[in-house]
Structure 1
Amino acid sequence: MTHSSLLRSDQTLFRDPDVFEFTYLPDHLHHRDAQVRELAFLLRPALRGASTGSAVLRGPPGTGKTTTVRRVFREVREETRKIVPVYVNCRHDRTALAVYRSIFAQVCGCPAPSAGRYLDEIKQGIAARLHDENAALVVCLDDANYLIAAGTYNLLLYQLLRLYEKWDVRKAGVFAITSDLALNLYAEADPSVRSVFHPTEVTFWPYTKTEVREILTDRARQGLYPGVISKVLLDRIAQIAADEQDVRIGIDLLRGAVQRAERDGRRRVGPDDVTAAARVITAPSLRSRAVELSAGERALLSRIAERSREGREMTSGAVFEAAREYLPVGKTSYHEHLNHLAEIGIVDLVPRVGKGREVRLRYDAGDVAAACGVRTKPAKTRTEHEVS
């Protein structure tokens, strides 16, 4: 390595490190035009003096739900005073008082007064400002499922959507976001809430690899100096993020790989940087998936990890023959277990030329074994007798 290829201590590979923060709003929102149009359509009546519509935004984590809403809200603030958009993170603010204090701060531009201990005082302050501005309120309840767990979901929806009944303001709109695909936020509402809560459902599907690569390429262009990462490695990161169905993993992995190269004083990211960063970043995702496995699926996965670590044959037939030596598993249940491991993204089942499929782990075999609660055996060293 030549001296010119090393960074000085006062140099950096990041043109703008903020580009890789999850709160960053990109200049261009890729592949969410349909969702933006849907939300804009719900807000448009307020520009004519009417009320805003409501929506439920559903999709897996890392599919752009929060970023899309925050981007739409930013444009609304820049272009009109007839709509007051408010964003509430329900992971942090779950009680009625906390949510209303957050709304007050954003509507009025200052913290709720310390004397405003009672909700009606805070609501009155919010309503007064909306009335003075003749503006419509729209509140985004991000991670609204946390309100359900806190027991405040129905109370808040009912009160927000009926503010107009007590104060002379327009009916508010609510955008409720959830990443829990098994949860129906509309069905969770009480009948009294459903009488005023008629949300449009806006779905956010996982990004494809091509879409992830475009998003990451844009982030690299804005946040890194030219030549820091190659197209080949960016493509590899995009594949990992697409497999995880979470673009945030790709952004975090890109940042982690660059930070590793920078710590070593190198001007370019290498394959080892991506590998090392991926092990750190994807491990929590692997563990969360492994927790949901049945005992039989976890036992099979640990055998797959061991065979992969030892470099043995990984056809589905060979894995089955090896597995049944240790596990009480029939062919039908074996294929059910194997297909489920593929469905949740821990293994790939790759068709082979001729017949059968090859079982490939998406993660490091040691990490998989650790997630299963077992340790893999060290890779076996072949003796001279075995080679001969």
Structure 2
Amino acid sequence: MTKDLLMWDETLFRDPEVFEIDYVPEQFNHRETQMRELAFQIRPGARGGRPLNTICRGLPGTGKTTSVRKLFAEIEAETKKLVPVYVNCEIDNTKFAVFAQIYRKLSGHLPPASGTSFKQVFDAIARILQKEEIVLLVTLDDANYLLYENEINRVLYALLRSHESYPGTRIGVIAIISDMNVDLSREVDPRVASVFRPTEIYFPPYSADEARHILTERVMSGLYPGVLSDAMLDLVVEQTMKSGDLRVGLDLLKRAALNAEKDARKKIEEDDICLAYQVSKYLHLSFTLRTLKDEEKVLLKTIADMSSEGKEMNAGEVYTHAKEVMKIGYTRFYEIVKKLDAMRLINLDYRQGRGRTRVITLRYEPQRVLDLLA
């Protein structure tokens, strides 16, 4: 029996990094068509022109970010004249924050946190682009978060019309959209639309065979031989397809292996996978909650607390409860409610009665939301 148990200094992981969400594999399969289209859009930038603007659109976990990161690595290895900048708009979702990340890429450090205006940062970026004759390619990952914050037009306008204030600057944009309810081309205002004119590249969900192939490659790279049987891999694929997000499968593999290690076993068993899935299936919820501002978290907690009572909630009732725990006016309250609805944390429905009643329902189990917020 002891030969099936791990020694204190042994591990099941050959390379734990393989299962991290932001890991970029050397072999990246099943997105060859999208990669070719992206490369075509970027090509003018490599020749000193302005890259064509692009929208990468698809559900979470369909390879959009990895495709862009893969191409960015190739660009950085080949040229210094086309500089790719990656901005995570879940985290950096204001105009200043986006341009601060661009400045950091070009200068090697962030601008001062206080006492620096947006114009000063933009001037510094433009000077570098003009002096070095650099073409800039900016990826706005999860650009839908800029839309939720009403920042998308301000960011795109500044980027795409920079040549009007700073002659010779050439900037292209890749916007990654994971919210399939968002049509960015229609959301931007006319002054932005006239210069944006993006090509849309669609990333479809992975099929079961494709998911299995990708997860198999990660298992071979990340775990030692014999740790995961074919039958257990089938179960992981089944759970991954149930969630519709490949990232859930990667997280599930990592957590299942950790569960087996905790019991000092050399093989992953069904209970390890089932236990891991109870956490991994909320991966999207967990990531989304991290991006909320403090007042947004307080309001969501209020909604979750009220949802625990099992009664229907209208917006007026929620606002009354929210005012008891936070200082907030109705206009700001309703802005947050609309954002939580757009982020698919709640449903905001309209019901006809005496006038038009707004009904709020939580999309997830209240206790799970409360646990993650805590």
TM-score (norm. length: structure 1): 0.71
Q: Is the 8 A contact 2:126 2:169 kept in 1?
A: no
Counterpart AA for 1:58: R
Question: Hey, what's the Cα distance between the residues in 2 that align with 1:163 and 1:178?
Answer: 23
| Counterpart in the other structure of 2:167 | 168
Q: Does 1:277 align with 2:268?
A: no
In the TM superposition, residue 216 of structure 1 has moved relative to its aligned partner by 0.7
Counterpart AA for 1:36: M
Question: Hey, what's the Cα distance between the residues in 2 that align with 1:115 and 1:144?
Answer: 25
Counterpart AA for 2:42: L
Counterpart AA for 1:73: F
Superposed CA offset, 1:196-223 (max 9, x none): 0010001011001111111111111111
In the TM superposition, residue 114 of structure 1 has moved relative to its aligned partner by 5.3
Superposed CA offset, 1:308-336 (max 9, x none): xxxxxxxxxxxxxxxxxxxxxxxxxxxxx
Helix, strand or coil for the counterpart of 1:229?
coil
Q: Is the 8 A contact 2:236 2:252 kept in 1?
A: yes
Helix, strand or coil for the counterpart of 1:201?
strand
Helix, strand or coil for the counterpart of 1:26?
coil
Q: Point out where structure 2 has 5 or more consecutive residues left out of the alignment.
A: 289-302, 304-309, 311-363, 368-374
Note the 1:344-363 alignment, pairs <5 A: none
Counterpart AA for 1:6: L
Question: Hey, what's the Cα distance between the residues in 1 that align with 2:86 and 2:284?
Answer: 27
Counterpart AA for 2:253: L
Counterpart AA for 2:212: R
| Counterpart in the other structure of 1:235 | 234
In the TM superposition, residue 116 of structure 1 has moved relative to its aligned partner by 6.5
Helix, strand or coil for the counterpart of 2:100?
helix
| Counterpart in the other structure of 1:225 | 224
Q: Larger deviation: 154-163 or 233-242?
A: 233-242
| Counterpart in the other structure of 2:120 | 121
Note the 1:257-268 alignment, pairs <5 A: 257-268=256-267
Identity in percent = 44
| Counterpart in the other structure of 2:149 | 150
| Counterpart in the other structure of 1:194 | 193
Question: Hey, what's the Cα distance between the residues in 1 that align with 2:275 and 2:88?
Answer: 32
Helix, strand or coil for the counterpart of 1:186?
helix
Q: Does 1:70 align with 2:36?
A: no
Q: 1:116 to 1:25 in 2, by over 3 A?
A: farther
Q: 1:49 to 1:285 in 2, by over 3 A?
A: closer
Helix, strand or coil for the counterpart of 1:240?
helix
Q: Larger deviation: 190-199 or 269-278?
A: 269-278
Question: Hey, what's the Cα distance between the residues in 1 that align with 2:110 and 2:280?
Answer: 37
In the TM superposition, residue 169 of structure 1 has moved relative to its aligned partner by 2.9
Q: Is the 8 A contact 1:63 1:247 kept in 2?
A: yes
Question: Hey, what's the Cα distance between the residues in 2 that align with 1:67 and 1:284?
Answer: 18
Greater C-alpha Rg: 1
In the TM superposition, residue 236 of structure 1 has moved relative to its aligned partner by 1.8
Note the 1:1-388 alignment, pairs <5 A: 2-113=1-112, 117-282=116-281, 371=365
Question: Hey, what's the Cα distance between the residues in 2 that align with 1:18 and 1:107?
Answer: 28
Superposed CA offset, 1:101-141 (max 9, x none): 11100122222245761112111211122223222111111
Question: Hey, what's the Cα distance between the residues in 2 that align with 1:233 and 1:286?
Answer: 25
In the TM superposition, residue 271 of structure 1 has moved relative to its aligned partner by 1.6
Helix, strand or coil for the counterpart of 2:187?
coil
In the TM superposition, residue 73 of structure 1 has moved relative to its aligned partner by 1.1
Helix, strand or coil for the counterpart of 1:87?
strand
Question: Hey, what's the Cα distance between the residues in 1 that align with 2:98 and 2:277?
Answer: 36
Question: Hey, what's the Cα distance between the residues in 1 that align with 2:198 and 2:204?
Answer: 19
Counterpart AA for 1:10: D
Question: Hey, what's the Cα distance between the residues in 1 that align with 2:37 and 2:147?
Answer: 25
Q: Point out where structure 1 has 5 or more consecutive residues left out of the alignment.
A: 292-297, 299-369, 374-388
Q: 1:76 to 1:10 in 2, by over 3 A?
A: same
How many residues align? The count is 293
TM-score (norm. length: structure 2): 0.74
Helix, strand or coil for the counterpart of 2:184?
coil
Question: Hey, what's the Cα distance between the residues in 1 that align with 2:114 and 2:269?
Answer: 57
Cα-Cα RMSD: 2.3
